[in-house]
Every structure is written in structure tokens, then in C-alpha cells.
Amino acid sequence: MLGEPVLKYLITRLVQLVAVVFVISVLAFLLVHLLPGDPSVTILGPFDTAAARAEVLRQLGLDKPLPLQYLTWLGNVLHGNLGESFLTKESVSHAIAQAFPIDLELVVLSQIIAFAVAIPLAMVAARRPNKAFDRLSSTFTFGLLSVPAFILAVLLVLVFAVSIHAFPATGWTNLTSNLGQNLRSAILPSIALGAGSVAVYFRLLRSDLISTLQEDYITMARAKGLPTRYILFRHALRPSSFSLLASAGINIGSLLTGAFVVEYLFQLPGIGYQIVESISSRDYLMVQGMALVVAVAFVVVNFAVDFLLVLLDPRIRRA
């Protein structure tokens, strides 16, 4: 199925990906070494003897030169061993396995919400461009672009948690333990995270639809007496959905880090929250492991989206 140029492209990009992931692993590793403080103090506490501290550093290999430390760490990572938390002794990969689904759910739910708002708005708006509804929804979505997640979060908490107690202000219920509670705990953070995407999708879809509606085949369809709603769904939305998905894919990377702040505001134990907590407690291996996972996820998602687009539409390659 894959043509030779596509295959070639794939291989080039894969080589690039490996290179980028390598550099990222170096960055994640070095970044943590920027943090002040002595990891042995984090592990032993401040009262232990200098000898005990040196021993801990030796056990962790932290007395070795940096490149060697990096190679050891990389070797362990490649074997799936990210080490364990200095504080809780929890394995880092276990912590990530607990936390990452939260980020994933937030991102997915936020995009579902964004689509659910943006698509109907854009479809109605595109039917009569520059008329009242179009202008109103354009203004509304443009406004959303200027509401930072932390402000939206504050407003949502003020209205839905403080005033009418409809949703919890903080906390997380796992998807697997109780679906209803899970959605209740996820809804406000997802709205805060997804609001910005509404503006992006709306603008994209609206201009796409407007130009599609001017195409000849649409005029033909109209002439055949097909209802506008049918035309919109069947002939206009479909071709546009491709670019919509593409932009969603490109979005996901930045949403992953956008989730950091939202998780902190709503105190959801996702990766972002855990990283910030671990930075503060100098839990080096935790920061390292989680930073690596976020960064790699970021790159891989971008790559996958990129590649999917090429696969579906080889023209993009040349652009």
C-alpha cells in the first residue's frame, strides 16, 4: 500500500525522530541536574552523616562523571527501568502509569468538548457568512482565545463549585473506579483546557466551509434541491474534517503541557502535577522520568500526526 516515496519519507522522518528523541533524553537528563540541592539530602534527610551521604551518591552512581551517568541512566531507561522515587520509593514507571491516563483523558475530553462546540457553531455560521450569528460566534470564539486556562478555571470553580456545588473543585476519580464520578471530576478541567481549541477549530472550519460552499459541486447539489443541512454534512463537513483532525493532532502536543497548569489548578494527580511536585521536593528521578515521557510523547504524537497526514495526503510532503 505504501508507495516508495512515502516509505522513503517515513524512513527519513524516523531517523529524524530517533535523533530528536536522543537529544531530548539528553535535555531531560541535564535539566534535572540544574536543580539545586543534594539528592542525598532528599533521600537521607539533613541529619545523616557525610559518609552515609557519599555512600548514597555512590549507590546511585551520582559520583561519576555526567556522561557516564547519562549512559547508565539511558541504559536503564531502555530496559524500561526509570528508577524509583527518592521520597516514596514508588517506581517511576508505576507513577507514570498511574498519572499518564489522567493527562490522556483530559486531552481527549477537552478536544471532544472543543469539537462539540466548534463544529455546530461553524456550520451555522458558515451558512450565512458575516451575518449576525456568524459575527456573534466569531467574536465569542475569538474572546475564548484570550481567556487563559487559569482564568477560566477560576471562573468555572467560582460558578460551578463554589456557588452551586455542581462539580468538585478539585480531585480526581479514576475512570475505572466510577465512570460518573470520573466525568464529574474531569469536566471542569477539560473545559478549561479545551476552550482555546474551540477558537482554533471554529476559525478553521468556518473558513473551510465557506470556501467549500462556493465550489461548483455544491452549487450543483443546491440546484438539485438538496436541503442545505444535508449539503453541509455530506459535501462540506467531510472534506473539511481532514484539516480539522490535522489541526487537532498538531494541538495535542501543546495540550499535554497545557494540562500542567490545569492539573495544578484542579489538583489532579496527572503528570504535570506530579512533575511540579517532584521538582519542589527534589525528587530527581521522578522529574527525569516524567520529563522524558512528556517530551517523548510530545515528539511522537507530532510525528505520528505528521506522518498520518502525509499518508492521507502526499501533497503535504512537498510543502
Partner 1 sequence: MPDSQKRLGPLFWICLGFIGLVVFGAIFANVLPLPNPDAQNYAAVNAGPSLHHLLGTDDLGRDLLSRIVFGSRVSLVVGFGGIAIGLAIGGTLGLVAGYRSGALDTVLNAGSFVILAFPPLLAIIVIVAFWGRSLPKLTLIIGIASIPSMFRVIRATTMSYANRDFVVAARALGASNRRIIFRELLPNVAPAAISFALIGVAIIVVLEGSLAFLGLSVALPTPSWGNIIYEGASNNNLQTNPFIALWPALAMFLLLTSLNLVGDRLRSYFDVREGGL
Partner 2 sequence: MPASQERFDRRRFLSGGARTVAAAALGGVGAPLLLSDCSSAPGRAVATPGVSRAAPRRGGSVKIGMNSEIDGFSPFSDNWDNTGLTYANTVYDTLTAIAADGSAQPYLAESVTPNGDYSVWTITLRPDVFFHDGTPLDAGVLVANFEAFKASPLTGQALAPVLSARRTGHLVVEMVCSQPLVPFPYYLSTQVGVVVAPSMIDPPAGTSPKPVGTGPFVYEDWVPNSHFSATRNPRYWRPGLPYLDSVTYFPIADDGARLESLQSGSVDLMISTNPSAVTTLRSNPAYQLVDTIHHHLGEPDMDFIMLNTAVAPTDDPEVRLALAKAIDYEAIVELFGGGLTQPSSGLFPPGSIYYAPSSYPTYDLAGARALVDKARSRHGGAISLDLGTIPDPRDVQATQAIQSMWEKAGFSVTLSQTDQATFIENALEGKFHAYTWEQFSAPDPDLNYPWWSTTTVGPVGGISLNFARNYDPEIQAALEEGREHANPATRIAAYRRVNERLALDLPYLWLARTIWSAGANDSVMNFSNPTLPSGQPAEGFSGGVLDPTPIWLRA
Please answer whether residues 105 and 189 qualify as being in contact, where contact means their C-beta atoms are separated by less than 8 angstroms: no
95 binds partner 2 (CB under 8 A): yes
Site string for partner 2, 200-219 (x = CB under 8 A): --------------------
Residue count, binding to partner 2 (CB under 8 A)? 45
> Choosing among partner 2, partner 1, none, which partner's interface includes residue 125 (Cβ < 5 to 8 Å by kind)?
none
CA–CA separation, 267 and 220 (whole Å): 54
User: At its nearest, how many Å lie between partner 1 and the CB of residue 167?
Assistant: 15
The residue with cell 524516523 is 14
35 binds partner 1 (CB under 8 A): yes
User: At its nearest, how many Å lie between partner 2 and the CB of residue 144?
Assistant: 24
CA–CA separation, 169 and 153 (whole Å): 9
Residues 6+ apart with CB under 8 A from 102: 172, 263, 268, 269, 270, 271
CA neighbours closer than 13 Å in the CB half-sphere of residue 292 = 27
173: exposed, middle or buried (Cβ count in 10 Å: 0-12, 13-18, 19+): middle
Question: What part of residues 54-93 is at the interface with partner 1 (CB under 8 A)?
Answer: none
User: At its nearest, how many Å lie between partner 1 and the CB of residue 34?
Assistant: 4
CA–CA separation, 72 and 258 (whole Å): 31
155 binds partner 1 (CB under 8 A): yes
The residue with cell 498519572 is 99
80 binds partner 2 (CB under 8 A): no
User: At its nearest, how many Å lie between partner 2 and the CB of residue 65?
Assistant: 25
CA–CA separation, 153 and 27 (whole Å): 31
Residue count, binding to partner 1 (CB under 8 A)? 44
CA–CA separation, 261 and 252 (whole Å): 15
Instruction: Name the segment binding partner 1 (CB under 8 A); options: 34-42, 73-81, 125-133, 240-248.
Output: 34-42
171 binds partner 2 (CB under 8 A): yes
Binding partner 2 (rule: CB under 8 A), the pick from 70, 133, 140, 264 is: 264
Residues 6+ apart with CB under 8 A from 188: 153, 156, 157, 160, 161, 167, 169, 266
- DSSP character string of 205-267: HHHHHHHHHTSHHHHHHHHTT--HHHHIIIIIIHHHHHHHHHHHHHHHHHHHHHHHHHHHHHT
- Please give the DSSP secondary-structure letter assigned to residue 84: B
Closest CA to 186 of 270, 69, 129: 270
Site string for partner 2, 130-159 (x = CB under 8 A): ---------------------------x--
Instruction: Name the segment binding partner 1 (CB under 8 A); options: 2-10, 61-69, 227-235, 261-269.
Output: 261-269
- Closer Cβ to partner 2, 38 or 307, answer by number: 38
Please answer whether residues 298 and 23 qualify as being in contact, where contact means their C-beta atoms are separated by less than 8 angstroms: no
Binding partner 1 (rule: CB under 8 A), the pick from 200, 252, 275, 285 is: 275
> Choosing among partner 2, partner 1, none, which partner's interface includes residue 166 (Cβ < 5 to 8 Å by kind)?
partner 2
What are the residues binding partner 2 (CB under 8 A)?
A: 36-37, 41-49, 52, 84-90, 95, 98, 157, 161-162, 165-173, 185, 264, 266-267, 269, 273-274, 276-277, 280-282
What are the residues binding partner 1 (CB under 8 A)?
A: 19-20, 23-24, 27-28, 31-32, 34-36, 142-143, 145-151, 154-155, 157-158, 162, 253, 256-257, 260-261, 264-265, 275-276, 279-280, 287, 291, 294-295, 298-299, 302, 319
